Structure 1
Amino acid sequence: MSSTSDERRTRVLHAVDQLGSVRVTELAEQLRMPVITLRRDVAALAEVGLVHRVHGSVVSTSVQAGTAVLGPSVGLLVPGVGQYFDEVIAGARQAAGPTSAQLVLGISSYEASADRVQVDQLLRSGVEGLLLAPNWTADARPQDQDWVARLPVPTVLVERRPAPGGEAAGLDTVSSDHRHGVLLALRHLSALGHGRIALMARSDTWTAHEVRRGYAEGCELLGLVPGPVLESGIPVVDAAPVAEALADGVTAVLVHNDQDALQLLPLLRARGLRVPEDLAVVSYDDVFAALGAPPLTAVAPPKRAVGAEALGILLRRLGSPAATPVCHLQLLPELTVRESCGAARR
């Protein structure tokens, strides 16, 4: 999803939170948006539980049977909505339900400079705690991260791990162990007889950095000769490097993420390459890997569980900060085997 749609949906959320309940047509007029565009935005926000749709109206999740939510207000900062972090949001929201905690969403659109701006807005809205997924790069220094440790409310890092030695290392963190997830994929492909496995991965996100590290570590651990590491989605997905890798003995490829893996499939077919007969493909994320043709075997990070566990830790810290030890929690991904690696057929 583009940064424009992120910003638009943030405006919609803020307006609905202020109004409580409003007809879609009236909200479209107030925000000066086409009704059809607003309906799409409302549908996307409702799908992940950030608003409710009721008979042509949109209702804030903080309005329940006419009674205001009594639990703490928690800010949740994510780098975007529409794919991976939708599941994290859904997990946090599900965990918030029984506690009556109110989630307030901020979207930074993968811009590091936007993180502090969004956090400041969340703090001004009165949140009592923060769940943060800041846009940290692979080469981030401790001093670039330490500002999150100086925030005036309890903070839990989500799908991020701070550099050792900095102030941020003293914060609670909940994340997926992506390196373990990559190891699962490599071990599975190796067991199917693939001795040379390529990696096609992005290089512009925290998860992509962890996937790349996990690939190098996994190949060494399993005694595999590393295949080529191909850039994915920069600027667009390209099948040519994959086809060249096949000529160099590569028989399988792990692709980060689902979107790029799904785009790769028809490009391979256009070159006369069959999946899994000529090339086994495993995707990373498992957001919509099952919709591929063929359905993609995929590493599935525990996205909902990450959101739920992060909220639980934050609520415990809000309730008894002195009695709650700092927690660095990593949850293990799973491998969902489908047709694209040839395992089902074999």
Structure 2
Amino acid sequence: MSISAEVRRAWIVNVVRELGSVRVADLAGRLRIPAVTVRRDIAALAAEGTLRRSHGVVSIPGDAGAETGAGREYVVGMLVPTVGSYFDEVIAGARAATAAAGVRLVLGISPYEARDDHAQAERLLESGVDGLLVAPNWLPGGRHDEYGWLDELPVPAVLVERWASPGGPGAALDAVGSDHHHGVLLALSHLASLGHRSVTLAARDDTWTSHQVRAGYTEAVRLLGFEPQPVIDMEASLPGSGRTDIETLADRIAGSVASGVRAVLVHNDHDAIQLLPLLRARGLTLPGGLALISYDDVYAALAVPALTAVAPPKRAVGDAAAELLLKRLDCDRARPARRIRLLPGLKVRGSCGGER
């Protein structure tokens, strides 16, 4: 026989009142109710003020001995597809914001090729987090029906560097991310100021940002009246997915230069830096023979010559996403969802040539 939510929640309140405080996992075991169901019931009871959650522990508000104080009681989970590059700065921004609020941040990693976001999110929830920052492993344009769990999360969540499709999973969630279309327009506008009237794009095809960069390129070419060039596809160099053929990429860029296109935008820094010695071996020098801008600005300043780069506001994205989540946790759970787009900047360095 199924048990109504009203009855379950009454049981939960009675047990918490009896024990004073109890871990969420222990509460689920004691009541023999699935943990995910208990978490949802606790979220509803906490939202109405009947219970309080702190570090995976549930208590009655106002009980002697219960922890006091606002935001500092929270634990926030963050799910990202990778560490060691772009998302390091996003994590750093979220970490600084949560630390300033006295909130603990815990990290989950769901690798690009694994596609196990749901399982990783469940692990974070089981640890007792009060909210989630989530960067799902999806690409733009799809409905991503396998991500229906985003709409059933028992805690508030904010999408990070992702925009949900209208009507798709996560569409009702807060979201914070970089406006990559603006970033590409900055790059091509700078090249236009140097006299270039066509630009080749060399980009991946396997990540969210790569698709945004490609779409931004099409839009910027139209807005600036550039002559469109075929996009040079780059194989993924992510773990387990094969090695990027940098040699072939260098040949194709050299071919575009031979046809008169002396400017290239490369997504991302990792591949752009590997290209430099290969381009020199083909007689192409920066900035004299070729103008090159990289996208991401993770390692671009370390190249020789230092690369002009589009710099998405990675740290600011993490900071803003954490702030948005903390505000929703503290006092603003009923407000409409917000989508915040932050504009990239352009770091001008030595890799751009003059008029061509």
Q: Shorter-chain-normalised TM-score: which range?
A: 0.7 to 0.9
2:201 counterpart residue number: 199
Does 2:94 correspond to 1:92? yes
- Aligned residue type for 1:263: Q
Question: Which region of structure 1 is more displaced relative to structure 2, 280-289 or 105-114?
Answer: 105-114
Identity of aligned residues (%): 57
**Maintained 8 Å contact 2:183/2:312:** yes
Give the whole-Å Cα distance in 1 for the aligned partners of 2:307 and 2:159. 30
SS across alignment from 1:243: helix
Give the whole-Å Cα distance in 2 for the aligned partners of 1:273 and 1:170. 49
Shift of 1:112: 5.5
Give the whole-Å Cα distance in 2 for the aligned partners of 1:173 and 1:157. 4
Gaps of 5+ in 2: 1-70, 237-243
2:175 counterpart residue number: 173
> Equivalent of 1:185, from 176, 184, 187?
187
1:154 counterpart residue number: 156
**Maintained 8 Å contact 2:138/2:144:** no
Shift of 1:98: 1.8
Question: Which region of structure 1 is more displaced relative to structure 2, 235-244 or 308-317?
Answer: 235-244
**Maintained 8 Å contact 1:197/1:254:** yes
Give the whole-Å Cα distance in 2 for the aligned partners of 1:145 and 1:332. 27
**Maintained 8 Å contact 1:71/1:99:** no
1:340 counterpart residue number: 351
Question: Which region of structure 1 is more displaced relative to structure 2, 108-117 or 280-289?
Answer: 108-117
Give the whole-Å Cα distance in 2 for the aligned partners of 1:90 and 1:278. 37
Count of aligned pairs between the two proteins: 277
- Aligned residue type for 2:325: L
> Equivalent of 2:273, from 243, 246, 262?
262
**Maintained 8 Å contact 1:142/1:165:** no
SS across alignment from 2:142: coil
- Deviation readout 1:254-306 (Å, 9 max, x if unpaired): 00010011011111011111111111000000011001111000000000000
**Maintained 8 Å contact 1:177/1:330:** yes
SS across alignment from 2:93: helix
The structure with the largest alpha-carbon Rg is 2
2:292 counterpart residue number: 281
Gaps of 5+ in 1: 1-68
SS across alignment from 1:254: strand
TM-score by length of 1: 0.77
Give the whole-Å Cα distance in 2 for the aligned partners of 1:211 and 1:122. 31
Does 2:339 correspond to 1:328? yes
Does 2:138 correspond to 1:136? yes
1:1-346 equivalent positions in 2, closer than 5 A: 70-111=72-113, 113-234=115-236, 235-237=244-246, 238-342=249-353
CA RMSD for the aligned pairs? Answer: 1.8
Shift of 1:320: 1.9
Give the whole-Å Cα distance in 2 for the aligned partners of 1:70 and 1:316. 12
Give the whole-Å Cα distance in 2 for the aligned partners of 1:111 and 1:321. 36
- Deviation readout 1:214-236 (Å, 9 max, x if unpaired): 00000001111112210224433
- Aligned residue type for 1:123: L
- Deviation readout 1:50-95 (Å, 9 max, x if unpaired): xxxxxxxxxxxxxxxxxxx943110000100000000000001111
Give the whole-Å Cα distance in 2 for the aligned partners of 1:111 and 1:71. 34
Give the whole-Å Cα distance in 2 for the aligned partners of 1:139 and 1:111. 19
